[in-house]
Structure 1
Amino acid sequence: MSYHLLEIERRDKGVTWIHINNPPANAIGYELMQELEEAVGELTDDKATRVVVIASKHPKIFLAGADLKGMMMTSGEAVEDDNFIEKESARMQACFQRFAEMPKPVIAAINGYALGGGCELALACDFRIMGSGKIGLTEVSLGLIPGAGGTQRMTRILGRAMAMELIFFGKKLEAKEAEALGLIHSAVPSEQFEEVVTAFAEELATGAVHAMGLAKRAINATEKGLEEGLKVEAQAFADTFLSDEPSIGLAAFFQKQKANFLEGY
């Protein structure tokens, strides 16, 4: 599949990198959302892809927020549609949700500013590794609110009190600050950034990726309440036996060896 604003790079052990390249500022617009949706579909179906890393080609920006100028210009042309802005927000939410539901581990490799929509995309990923730049939901400083899932995901990750503080004050956190709060999983020096992300992604890729995807489905179901979550977990547990991973893992366990889930990959 051909992309204009994304670069898809397949690396060792089934790790696929999505590089966002939308100059000048890597802002989120209609075309970028469309390509991200297409990439999710392609890599979900790609059996050779075991782990996805979302990164940026911009030297200082992971992903900027929505193209507000373009959105306002378009909204002026769409005055007959009273729900235009709401629909645009829902479109971004749905786009990022595809990564949250992707049945494979997804890593946000943040080596630059991830403010507003960039933070929201990172929050939709399973892991966030950060080098340089700052991260935060800064929309309130513009008289707006996060509109691509940020209010929901940050609250679930950090809790109501901390989410309100960060969102209301529009705080921009450096990597170490974000790591201390639990907003990101790891803060690493910029000069070691790609090396660390690669090692982390490859370690995931050598594991039982099918089981990880099913565990992810069950973890996501916690939002539906305990009863429904337990039902999803039971079905996901049964679904683990639809792959070769249990036989590989159990055989290695009884032989007192480390399981090689890349076998046959």
Structure 2
Amino acid sequence: MSYQTITIEKRAKGVAWITVDHPPANAIGEQLMQDLEAAVDELTEDDTVRVVVVASAHEKIFLAGADLKGMIHNSGDADGEEDMIARQSARMQACFNRFATMPKPVIAAINGHALGGGCELAMACDFRIMGKGRIGLTELSLGLIPGAGGTQRMTRLLGRAKATELIFTAKRLEAKEAETIGLVHRSVDPDDLESDTTAFAEVLAKGAIHAMGLAKRAIHVAEGPIEEGLKVEANAFSDTFMTDEPSIGLAAFFQKEKAQFLD
């Protein structure tokens, strides 16, 4: 199958690399989501693929967030507009959730900034190995909230107290600090990211992959159903556009200034 925003490379021992290549910043759009979903289907059905790695072709960015200019446009006061924004949020959630429920191990090889949506995709993967850049849910600095599963996944990964702190402060973590708190599993030398990820992926690939898929399903059940939380998040993401905070935050972002929410 041909893709417009990603490439798939099947390497030794059944390890397949999905590399996002969507210039200029690997921003999340409809085509990228369609390609990622199709890739999950292809690699799930391919019995020769045992482990999946998600990486980036961008030198400094793992994955950027959604189209922010589109969000400004969508924050008008037309009737039902907030429902459309909630649908946009749910669309991103569904895309990333495909990786969380894929019945094979999935590793995020983070070679650059994974902020906002990039962090949300990384958290949907089973493992995160990070070389450089910063990672975090930075939406609050724009007057928004995480809308692609971030409020749910970070809370499950780190606990309510730490997730609340990181989301409220929109903190950007270096790889070492992210490893210390458990947001990433391993921080590595940027030059060794590909080789270290490959080595770990091949260790997994030698294991009982079918059993791992079943264990993954059971682990999700043990955590409790995420679907209701994702629905609440999508609606809350939409509700942010009923205030002037996103307009202030996004305008400052495009002007490369710090948003001032207090007059």
TM-score, scaled relative to structure 1: 0.82
Q: What letter matches 1:117 in structure 2?
A: G
Equivalent residue, structure 1, for 2:113:
113
Q: What letter matches 2:170 in structure 1?
A: G
Using CA pairs under 8 Å that are at least 6 residues apart, name the structure with larger relative contact order, 1 or 2: 2
Structure 2: runs of 5+ lacking an equivalent: 226-263
Describe the superposition over 1:68-103 as per-residue Cα deviations: whole angstroms up to 9, x where unpaired.
113444666986654110000000001111100000
User: Which of the pair has more CA radius of gyration?
Assistant: 1
- 1:75 touches 1:84 (CA, 8 Å); kept in 2? no
Equivalent residue, structure 1, for 2:88:
88
Residues 14-93 of structure 1: pairs in structure 2 closer than 5 A: 14-73=14-73, 81-93=81-93
Distance between the aligned counterparts of 2:191 and 2:82, measured in 1? 48
- 1:59 touches 1:112 (CA, 8 Å); kept in 2? yes
Distance between the aligned counterparts of 1:149 and 1:184, measured in 2? 17
Distance between the aligned counterparts of 1:23 and 1:77, measured in 2? 31
Greater mean deviation of Cα atoms: 73-82 or 150-159: 73-82
Q: What letter matches 2:6 in structure 1?
A: L
Residues 121-132 of structure 1: pairs in structure 2 closer than 5 A: 121-132=121-132
- 1:78 touches 1:84 (CA, 8 Å); kept in 2? no
Percentage identity across aligned positions?
69
Q: What letter matches 1:114 in structure 2?
A: A
How far the C-alpha of 1:57 sits from its partner, in A, is 0.1
How far the C-alpha of 1:192 sits from its partner, in A, is 1.0
How far the C-alpha of 1:161 sits from its partner, in A, is 0.5
Distance between the aligned counterparts of 2:37 and 2:18, measured in 1? 12
Distance between the aligned counterparts of 1:41 and 1:20, measured in 2? 16
Q: What letter matches 2:90 in structure 1?
A: A
Equivalent residue, structure 2, for 1:242:
none
TM-score, scaled relative to structure 2: 0.83
SS of aligned partner of 2:63: coil
Q: What letter matches 1:172 in structure 2?
A: R
Q: Does 1:10 align with 2:18?
A: no
Structure 1 residues 79 and 3 mapped into 2: Cα distance closer, same or farther (>3 Å)?
farther
The alignment of Structure 1 onto Structure 2 pairs a total of residues equal to: 225
- 1:137 touches 1:170 (CA, 8 Å); kept in 2? yes
How far the C-alpha of 1:223 sits from its partner, in A, is 2.6
Which of structure 1's runs of 4+ aligned residues deviate more than 3 A? Answer: 71-82
Residues 63-212 of structure 1: pairs in structure 2 closer than 5 A: 63-73=63-73, 81-212=81-212
Structure 1: runs of 5+ lacking an equivalent: 226-265
RMSD: 1.6
